[in-house]
Chains A and B, each alone.
Chain A
């Protein structure tokens, strides 16, 4: 692979540092008056280890998809860095699209919208291979055949077009398309939320099998917390452009510290809770704010996206478990 350089084996595969994305929004005023900046992502940092599934959860508008686009290079960050094996993926000196495509790929929410309806499955899988210099017809068909077998499709299905497949099969094609260049990182953007319950199970099982078999690293964007709990190794909870809590899946789901995380978990309709077999949201009550400091927001009031968020910091409350707290110095400023 072209991008890979000598990196210490234990370093993270992907390192995102202090990522900011701002969009200029023109107001109604004349002469550029009222031109404001929308703060979509405000200082997001995380590291992805090899073979790990990191989930970014949050509600619509929290910046999780913008973060994913920045990793893919489809959105230029306003500030901050994204490194892949120690090499910059953004800013000057960033690799081109071709090189990046071999490192990071994406599986989309709606496979029908992301596949070309006029291309057969074979054509759609062969194009990236040809672009990356694999021209021998026999090698192309071998790789396509192997790829289709991996995602649970038959070689005969390669000559068909996307509309001839069911929703679950289309998502399999979407996954094959993402994996055909053998990337190390796959960004999954709500990979199962458009699918029916029974198909959802098949795709989740497939994604976990492929991860194990190929040693893939996933960045999963999702709002479905039960799927997140099932699949992730680590979880970042985002609220209006910031990570408010970060930790291992067990820490996030068993001892969530931030009120927003607790609210998200409590909001999932849970049959066990509904039937009184398990305590509901009350099970998190009474856990005091760590270190007696304030949370910046409890996630009830939507902050103004045109104003940069108040200063705050991620504080480690347990090994690898961090939560966002207001700067302790702030209360001292007030006379």
Chain B
């Protein structure tokens, strides 16, 4: 049986306010296989971004990991020395964010910022790295990569900047790419192009993806397996197709019914959207029930 690439096991994260610890993530477990695209979906405050920060080792005060393990290729990231973690981050695990403008350095050309990845993680000389950076830009389908490498972030459009972020993230051929709402700030047609790009590149290189979004449509178009987060808990997990055709958790059903879906009006007429708050009477009971479907051909082992 193949070993999972990322194995989040019983993760607990607290926010520490003085002596009082407020639970943010309560016992979240999921696995990502090598080359698999896994989606985490949920509303703001459900804990999906904090989970990804935990995987990147970027939890800062007042957040702290209070329990569980995050195993990446068998090594527990939560106990890894900072130095080791820094070697892994950007190299084996890379991340792209929602707003590329805040993640890019405005005072440095994008070519230099991509080249830095090769210098830091692969011991290349700057001259070599610069050439590799242009190649990286070409691979994310930036037209005129040679000229674009000399641009500063503000000279580029939102879609172009997100491409630069993807080029940077994939520069060292990471095993895992974490994408945190990478297309939320983009126009629909640009979003479609960027999603296509992430999907193609990761499939080509066998990179696993942890894709975080509030948009079920985006998740469905990119991920094979989806986890639904609610109030710091993973309430349902299943293959994408099964989750959409047969949602078992009350909250998942609410989430699916709350979205107007393209084409449903012409099929069924205008139906009232589901108000999740009205169907969920007791929120604490909700986080206790969980539906986690086992993976195909793999029975859960103790």
A residues in contact (CB < 8 Å) with B: 59-60, 196-198, 200-202, 204-205, 208, 223, 225-227, 229-231, 249-250, 253-254, 263-275, 278
Contact = CB atoms under 8 A, between A and B. Distances in A.
Given A229-B260, A253-B265, A274-B220, 15 more contacts: A59-B190, A60-B187, A197-B216, A197-B255, A198-B254, A200-B258, A223-B188, A226-B260, A253-B262, A253-B263, A269-B215, A272-B263, A273-B221, A275-B241, A278-B263
A262 to B, nearest CB: 11
Given A198-B275, A274-B217, A267 B270 contact: no
B262 A268 contact: yes
Contacts of B240: 274-275
Interface residues of B, number: 38
Contact of A269 (B218, B258, B274): B218
Nearest to A267: B192
Interface in B244-290: 244-245, 254-255, 257-263, 265-266, 270, 272-277
B206 to A, nearest CB: 21
Contacts of B48: none
B191 interface: yes
Contacts of A60: 187
A204 B220 contact: no
Looking at chain A's contact residues, the main secondary structure is: helix
B259 A197 contact: yes
Contacts of B189: 59, 263-264, 267
Nearest to B258: A201
Contacts of A249: 265
Contact of B188 (A229, A268, A272, A275): A268
A57 B214 CA distance: 22
B269 to A, nearest CB: 11
B260 A204 contact: yes
A167 to B, nearest CB: 8
Interface string B19-34: 0000000000000000
A271 B217 contact: yes
A269 B190 CA distance: 12
A264 to B, nearest CB: 6
Contacts of B270: 208, 230
11 contacts: A198-B254, A198-B275, A205-B275, A227-B260, A229-B262, A263-B189, A267-B189, A269-B220, A271-B220, A271-B244, A272-B263
Nearest to B277: A198
Contacts of B254: 198
A250 B266 contact: yes
Contacts of B245: 275
Given A223-B187, A267-B191, A269-B215, A275 B244 contact: yes
B43 interface: yes
A249 B272 CA distance: 17
B209 to A, nearest CB: 15
A107 to B, nearest CB: 18
Looking at chain B's contact residues, the main secondary structure is: helix
B122 interface: no
B172 interface: no
Interface in B6-58: 43-44
B195 interface: yes
Contact of B261 (A226, A263, A264, A265): A226
A208 B265 CA distance: 14
Contacts of B259: 197, 200-201, 226
Nearest to A265: B262
Contacts of B276: 198, 201
B283 to A, nearest CB: 12
A253 B266 contact: yes
Interface string B179-205: 000000001111110010000000000
B301 to A, nearest CB: 29
A197 B214 CA distance: 7
Nearest to A193: B184
Contacts of B44: 196
A230 B188 contact: no
A259 to B, nearest CB: 12
A236 to B, nearest CB: 16
A150 B204 CA distance: 54
Contacts of A205: 272-273, 275
B295 to A, nearest CB: 18
B220 A197 contact: no
A202 B277 contact: yes
A271 B240 CA distance: 9
Contacts of B266: 250, 253-254
Given A269-B217, A271-B244, A198 B262 contact: no
A108 to B, nearest CB: 18
Given A60-B187, A196-B43, A198-B255, A274 B221 contact: yes
A202 B259 CA distance: 10
Nearest to A206: B275
Nearest to B240: A275
Nearest to B272: A205
B251 to A, nearest CB: 9
Contacts of B258: 197-198, 200-201
A157 to B, nearest CB: 16
Nearest to B273: A201
A269 B192 contact: yes
A150 to B, nearest CB: 17
A208 B190 CA distance: 30
Given A226-B259, A226-B260, A204 B217 contact: no
Contacts of A278: 263
Contacts of B277: 198, 202
A272 B259 CA distance: 13
A59 B187 CA distance: 6
Contacts of A230: 260, 265, 270, 273
